[in-house]
Amino acid sequence: MTIGEVKLVTETYLENKKQEMKMNNIRIYNTAYLTSTFVGLILDGKKPPKINTIFPDTEEDAKTDGVDNEVILVRERLKEFAMNANKQRRR
């Protein structure tokens, strides 16, 4: 590579990094804005809008009727454990 090519590659790399930083700053700002909006709604006693309302192309995987998927998973595991324990006691 010539000195000119190295300079061009370096400048292009730095410009790409600047653009990445700008996009990252925009994401951070949007996240903070959404967070403050939702906290404000919750403190006012209102429910925040569902994710499908805000982002129509996404499916609502995070919550189901206000119950976390993690809670549902723990309940299912607890039921399985209880059923297995009952089977072992019957033997």
- The tens digit of pLDDT for each residue in 6-39 reads 999 999 999 999 999 999 999 999 899 988 988 8
Average pLDDT, the chain: 82
* pLDDT on residue 65: 54
Q: Is 67's pLDDT higher than 90?
A: no
* pLDDT on residue 1: 83
Number of H helices, E strands in the chain: 3, 2
Residues recorded for the chain: 91
- What is the distance between the alpha carbons of residues 57 and 42, in angstroms, rounded to a whole number? 24
pTM to 2 decimals? 0.47
